[in-house]
Chains A and B, each alone.
Chain A
Amino acid sequence: MHSKSRFLQISAVSEAILHIFFGIVTLACLIPLWSVISISLSNDNKIRQIGYRFWPVGFSTKSYDFVLSQGRAIWHAYGITIFVTIVGTVLCVLVVSMYAYILFRKDFKYRKFFTFFGFFTMLINAGLVPWYIVCVNILHLKNTIYALILPYVMNMWYVLIFRTYLSMSLPDSIIESAKIDGAGEFTTFFRIVVPLVKPGLATIALFSAITYWNDWWLPFMLIDTEKLYNLQYMMYRVQQKIQYLAEIAGKLGASGIVPTDLPTESARMAMAVLGMGPIVLAYPFFQRYFVKGLTIGAIKG
């Protein structure tokens, strides 16, 4: 960050006004999050009497006990989300970085063709109906784990970001000298290029991991077997129909008995907290990389 002292600074009054303004904005960003946590920690009967509140009423962790012990399906959904996020992110980083690398190689004669081949898909999008029919009737992805992974693996936008990163941080001479030393293309890529561009790879990995973690769209379109529900989709089902929580608890739970006094209101919000938990906890760490990645993207979109 450049030194501000050389410039005219804004007045103390202006600064104070900005602090008040951003204070309000900060609250607007955090209060919804805080409310959901509060409700999840409230006593369900109290909530039903007085409604949702900004603070926990009749503090209780019963909702979590209920969601975690009864809803075996929730653990399963967590597992699906984690599996899909890891596998999808690894594949995405691999495919995107290799594709970006060949576009970066100025000595590769067909790089212009491959650039256009990818870029064209950013210009015209066939839309939902043809995409759905291809996924279901040609690729047979309906109700398979691949449906939750493959559609997001190749992303031309990430390719462009990563190519920009490569051209900014990787001198051509490194590739040339590797060639002179007799390294094959794959050796050069994995042993020499990859270790040098780890921050760029981390950026793509983070973008991709967030996409997979937060995805509800693919199961929404392509999955209707409960075994393949991921966390976000299960949350969507619960939100749509709170009894669904009781249904899955009854069907898949250990006891098999659905309690009559389900803490449905607080359990609903507990579900949301469990769904966003890992992302919000990892957020302070993630954020730095995201800002870096965005900044690179903004230089040449």
Chain B
Amino acid sequence: MANDQRTYRSGFLRELNKNFPLFLMALPGVVLLIAFSYLPLFGLIIAFKDVHYDVGILKSPWVGLKNFEFLFKTPDAFIITRNTLLYNFAFIVFGNLAAIATAIALSEMRSRFMAKFYQSVMFLPYFLSWVVVAYMAFAFLSIDLGILNTMVLPKLGLQPIAWYFETKPWPVILILANLWKYTGYNAVIYLAAITGIDPEYYEAALIDGASKWQQIKHITIPLLSPLVVVLVLLGIGRIFYADFGLFYQLPMNSGALYDVTNVIDTYVYRTLMGMNDIGMASAASFYQSIMGFILVLTSNLIVRRLDPEKALF
């Protein structure tokens, strides 16, 4: 036993000695991973403590599940969970449908030049930060000056809408904004897969007299389905995390809209920074991490069952 350990250790030391430059190359990455990913993992214990800044986190008293009790007693816990899950669910469904439809349509267009042009334009929103997108949205939604209220709605004979105070339109606005920003990007991923399909399948179908529509239905879509499954499952693995910029910048942090725009990420931020309630914020943060971890493991397990090649691990 002791002997085994020594050989193991000398094995490591020998390796370190032999490949020292390679270890050195890994070092900056390792240090940064420790600093920004591993150290915070230890911080997960904050959720079980009553933090007093004067004595430090380690010496602060344990409080068991108190922080969680407080969190789940608030109405917020339900709202933020519901919002995070439903929005992400909508993004997964509509996002993938839009990207697949776009990719198939672009790949079938006769004019290659125009297909490239459309692809380029649709990719553009991906390059803009949510701050810039919030400015653009404001140009349309501003209550007294916005294009919708001063131009579009009057022409349709409708009353102006107080966009930043009216909760009803926001689920639609947020879903549209998400589609607007990411469809071009996701379509490229599907387009890459379509370009990789062996042309012989289509030739064979053509000989059998399959129409274009039948080709798409019986060749393109079935061959895309493994990628769809993977992307959907990856989305499900991240369903407890929300795009902070989308939910914070776009509604301009308007308090009147929290009911439909507050997600776990924005809630954690507001509780930590605004209310300075570190106990509740860490409980919410912990809840998100653990649910996220379980879902990543589960979805990977499912991917591995379906197609071991595509599994992440």
**Cβ < 8 Å to B, chain A residues 2-53:** 2, 4, 6-11, 14-15, 18-19, 21-22, 25-26, 28-30, 32-33, 35-36, 39, 47-48, 50-53
Q: Which residues of chain A come closer than 8 Å to B19, judged between CB atoms?
A: 108-110, 185
Q: Is B65 an interface residue (CB 8 A)?
A: no
Least CB distance, B67 to chain A, in whole angstroms: 11
Least CB distance, B212 to chain A, in whole angstroms: 5
Tell me if B313 and A119 are in contact (CB < 8 A): yes
Q: Is A150 an interface residue (CB 8 A)?
A: yes
- Given the known A-B contacts A99-B29, A129-B272, A298-B227, are A239 and B41 also in contact in the complex, defined by CB atoms under 8 Å? no
* A121, B297: Cα distance in complex, Å: 13
Chain A interface size, as a band, is 35 or more
- Given the known A-B contacts A51-B151, A232-B129, are A128 and B269 also in contact in the complex, defined by CB atoms under 8 Å? yes
Q: Which residues of chain B come closer than 8 Å to A21, judged between CB atoms?
A: 105
Tell me if A128 and B147 are in contact (CB < 8 A): no
Stretch from A58-66, A82-90, A209-217 forming part of the interface with B: A209-217
Tell me if B142 and A132 are in contact (CB < 8 A): no
* A283, B123: Cα distance in complex, Å: 10
Stretch from A70-78, A166-174, A255-263, A269-277 forming part of the interface with B: A269-277
Q: Which residues of chain B come closer than 8 Å to A53, judged between CB atoms?
A: 147, 151
Tell me if B136 and A33 are in contact (CB < 8 A): yes
Tell me if B139 and A98 are in contact (CB < 8 A): no
Tell me if B21 and A186 are in contact (CB < 8 A): yes
Q: Is A139 an interface residue (CB 8 A)?
A: yes
Tell me if B131 and A129 are in contact (CB < 8 A): no
- Given the known A-B contacts A134-B35, A283-B124, are A96 and B199 also in contact in the complex, defined by CB atoms under 8 Å? no
Tell me if B118 and A26 are in contact (CB < 8 A): yes
- Given the known A-B contacts A1-B112, A210-B127, A214-B128, are A128 and B249 also in contact in the complex, defined by CB atoms under 8 Å? no
**Cβ < 8 Å to A, chain B residues 179-232:** 180, 184-185, 188-189, 192-193, 195, 199, 202-203, 206, 210-212, 215, 227, 230
* A292, B110: Cα distance in complex, Å: 22
- Which chain A residue lies CB-closest to B144? A51
Count chain A CB atoms within 10 A of each CB in B25, B110, B193 and give the residue with the most: B25
**Cβ < 8 Å to A, chain B residues 230-288:** 230, 234, 241, 244-245, 249, 252-253, 265, 268-269, 272, 278, 281-282, 285-286, 288
Tell me if A125 and B212 are in contact (CB < 8 A): no
Q: Which residues of chain A come closer than 8 Å to B13, judged between CB atoms?
A: none
- Given the known A-B contacts A25-B118, A133-B46, A286-B127, are A98 and B286 also in contact in the complex, defined by CB atoms under 8 Å? no
Q: Which residues of chain A come closer than 8 Å to B40, judged between CB atoms?
A: 126-127, 130-131, 133-134
* A154, B133: Cα distance in complex, Å: 27
- Which chain A residue lies CB-closest to B150? A51
Secondary structure call for the B interface? helix
Q: Is B289 an interface residue (CB 8 A)?
A: yes
- Which chain A residue lies CB-closest to B107? A4
Q: Which residues of chain A come closer than 8 Å to B109, judged between CB atoms?
A: 10, 15, 18
- Given the known A-B contacts A124-B293, A126-B41, are A6 and B199 also in contact in the complex, defined by CB atoms under 8 Å? yes
- Given the known A-B contacts A10-B108, A129-B282, A130-B40, are A216 and B129 also in contact in the complex, defined by CB atoms under 8 Å? yes
Q: Which residues of chain B come closer than 8 Å to A216, judged between CB atoms?
A: 129-131, 245, 249
Tell me if A110 and B15 are in contact (CB < 8 A): yes
* A76, B46: Cα distance in complex, Å: 38
Can you identify 25 A-B contacts, CB atoms within 8 angstroms? A1-B195, A2-B195, A6-B199, A6-B203, A7-B203, A29-B122, A32-B133, A47-B145, A95-B32, A102-B25, A117-B30, A121-B37, A125-B37, A126-B289, A130-B44, A151-B36, A214-B128, A232-B131, A232-B132, A235-B135, A239-B134, A283-B124, A290-B123, A294-B189, A295-B188
> What is B's interface to A at a CB cutoff of 8 Å?
15, 19, 21-23, 25-26, 28-30, 32-33, 35-44, 46, 57, 105, 108-112, 114, 117-125, 127-140, 142, 144-147, 149-151, 180, 184-185, 188-189, 192-193, 195, 199, 202-203, 206, 210-212, 215, 227, 230, 234, 241, 244-245, 249, 252-253, 265, 268-269, 272, 278, 281-282, 285-286, 288-289, 292-293, 296-297, 310, 312-313
Known contacts A127-B285, A216-B245, A236-B134, then 5 further A-B pairs from the complex at CB < 8 Å, ordered by chain A residue: A10-B110, A35-B140, A135-B36, A137-B57, A294-B192
The 10 lowest CB-CB distance pairs between A and B, nearest first, are A130-B43, A51-B150, A185-B21, A126-B40, A127-B285, A214-B129, A154-B32, A99-B29, A121-B37, A32-B136
